[in-house]
Amino acid sequence: MSKQAAGEFTLIDLFLSHFPRARVPVGPGDDCAVLAPSKGAQCITTDAVVEDVHFKRAWYSPQDIGHKALAVNLSDLASMGAVPRWFVCALALPRDFPRRELSGIARGMSALAREHAIALVGGNFTSARELSITLTVAGELPPGTAPITRAGGRPGDVLYVSGTLGDARLGLQQLQSGLRRSAAILRQKRPIPKVALGRLAARFASAGLDLSDGLAQDLGHLCIASGVSAELELERLPLSRAVRASLAAEGALAGGEDYELLLAVPPARTSAFEKACLRGEEPITRIGRLTPGRPGLIRDASGRSLRLPAGFDHFRGGGRIDRSGR
């Protein structure tokens, strides 16, 4: 995190003060971080949260923003079955950005980083018209473990989803309507990356991904990558009581930012997978299966093609935070 202006060094020092010192050969302060060789394969991802696209500062506390910036990246590692190791953070801040808010972002991010034992090893600061945070995050696969990818699914594999669906979308609608606190709003502001479930699933799943853009769209990605169709049992979708009352199945299918895991598991492994999830206290629900047929085609349990709602796309319509939820 080296920069030219003294003001930037002050901001860097303030931000870094909230994180434990990284146990790497060279950490923040040089032109590059230097990392020790890894025993397992590396999984690397990058994602950004941008003001008025992913959050509004009037709705989100600085701690919420810092948490979410790291959580969405950890969710990608979880979907591959990786163990989080390190990350770099690039912050773009308005010139008048309050130091107390920067500290809040660091506190929210560092609390989640400690929870998952992931180290901040470098990054960058720059000025911009709006706040944005871009992270590059790396995880490690245990030696001999293959990553969970979107392309490994086969006809007959059973589809599972973790947690409940549609809560983050409901939370966004509630924020837009003026509500400021609810269980759904907490799911929107502070998603929980399913890192432990991802590591467990790596022993059983043939394919998977995290649900960032809605079940309908993300299941389509998995099916196309695996060259299969899918059959969904809509009545089995796990919905919270609030979502069931407000959005029903269609809203849960289209709602993004749940950051649950969608996993395909071969039939011979389903019993062992379900028992392992029960022991690990990881809630999962069977919601369907992969089938032969045109890649990406999704049917209901009676065999009828489903006209599914579109998920989120950054380049169609407004940002996430601007979606009406209809």
* Residue range 279-311, pLDDT digits in tens: 999 999 999 999 999 998 898 887 888 766 555
Residue 310: inside a domain: no
Mean pLDDT, the chain, whole residue set: 90
Phi/psi at 246 (5° precision): -105, -40
The pLDDT averaged over each successive group of 10 residues in the chain (326 residues) is 56 89 87 87 95 94 98 98 97 94 97 97 93 97 94 98 96 94 96 98 98 93 96 94 84 88 98 98 98 90 73 52 44
Per-residue pLDDT, 310: 57
Whether residues 21 and 125 share a domain: the answer is: yes
Residue 317: inside a domain: no
Per-residue pLDDT, 6: 38
Task: Give the separation between CA 69 and CA 47, rounded to whole angstroms.
Answer: 8
Per-residue pLDDT, 87: 97
Per-residue pLDDT, 324: 34
- Answer for the pair 258, 187: CB distance below 8 angstroms, yes or no: yes
Query: Whole domain around residue 27: which residue ranges?
Result: 6-31+38-140
pTM, entire model: 0.90
What is the Cβ-side half-sphere exposure of residue 321, based on CA atoms within 13 angstroms?
15
Per-residue pLDDT, 5: 40
Task: Give the separation between CA 50 and CA 290, rounded to whole angstroms.
Answer: 35
Q: Crossing angle of helices 99-115/6-16, nearest 10°?
A: 40
Q: What is the CATH number of the domain that holds 273?
A: 3.90.650.10
What's the structural domain count of the chain? 2
Per-residue pLDDT, 256: 87
Per-residue pLDDT, 322: 54
Whether residues 89 and 220 share a domain: the answer is: no
Residue 96: inside a domain: yes
Task: Give the separation between CA 241 and CA 217, rounded to whole angstroms.
Answer: 23
* Amino acid of residue 215: L
Whether residues 126 and 223 share a domain: the answer is: no
Give Cα separations from 277 to 79, 119, 155, 200 (angstroms). Answer: 15, 28, 23, 8
| 3 DSSP 8-state letter | -
Q: What is the CATH number of the domain that holds 91?
A: 3.30.1330.10
Whether residues 124 and 244 share a domain: the answer is: no
Per-residue pLDDT, 111: 98
Give Cα separations from 224 to 10, 78, 146, 220 (angstroms). Answer: 48, 21, 20, 6
Per-residue pLDDT, 2: 41
Residue 280: inside a domain: yes
Whether residues 167 and 58 share a domain: the answer is: no
